[in-house]
Amino acid sequence: MGCAGTEPLAELVLVLSVIAGLAVIAALSYIPTAREACTEEKRRTRTERDAFASFAGRIAAIEEVSSTPGQAGGGTLLAQSAPDDGSLREVRSAYRETVMGVDHFTEEYDESLAEHMAAEFDESLAVAVCGGASFSPQMRRALVQQGSEARDRRSLLLRALDRELVGLSEADETLSEVEGTLSEIESRPQIRRSFEWLTTSWDRLRELRTRCERLVERRQEEIHGEAIARGPRGRSSLHGYLYQSLPVGHPVLADATATLERLDRIERGVVDGLTRRI
């Protein structure tokens, strides 16, 4: 009979453990999605960085044709007095096969060559490539330089994304630990909430609140201090750009706020229990 009597209790403990675990997962509803978005953006950014590097390398290997009259000594980027030479067709092919050849191009940009190059490079250079007559040394230098600059912008963004992934992991760890402790406190049956347990729980809740508030403060500092340069496409905050497809613009703050609200509720219950025993 003794053994039989412990089976329902063991099952109850198991059920409570599962419920507590599900509560933690449900509370942290945005950070996991944010990590997925950040990881995917990192993959795309790395692909674009390599594509621009490949483009610059291919352009550096193209030999320019003889300069047309008026382009001696470098001249202007755009010359319309002669038909398009083969070198310019090579430039356009190189751009399509590298920069526009990334697997997410249509989904993220869906632009023509002229539109995309004008956004990433100088507009005058895009006009020269798409409507010019010859491939000059000046154009080669400009394309290699601006292709390298586009590569470097992606490298900077990659470093920012690495920092963001670290921040998301740290926030996830902190909030998961806090949520786990909250579930433990919340699952304590009312009948077993002694005065000593209540005072101990109060101290634990204060510590948890401090951890959450420090996380929020740190995150707010990161949001105000972090921005990314998107070159000719403008400048926007990293978080606004990265999480524009999410229901919330600041997933860590959203999850931390939900955790603090849950902490408030549990804290009120503990205070009420203490008041009844005084």
pLDDT of residue 191: 86
CB-based contact 212:218 (threshold 8 Å)? no
CB-facing half-sphere around the CA of 1: CA atoms within 13 A? 0
The Cα 92–Cα 86 span in angstroms is: 10
Q: What pLDDT does residue 234 have?
A: 62
pLDDT of 63 = 78
Q: What is the pLDDT of residues 168-214, one digit of tens each?
A: 999 999 999 999 999 999 999 988 899 999 999 999 999 999 999 99
Element (H, E) at 73: none
Q: Using alpha carbons, select from 66, 77, 231 the residue that is nearest to residue 147.
A: 231
Residue 104: DSSP 8-state: T
In the block, tokens 């292709």 appear at: 147
Q: Is the pLDDT of residue 277 over 90?
A: no
Quote the mean pLDDT of the chain.
85
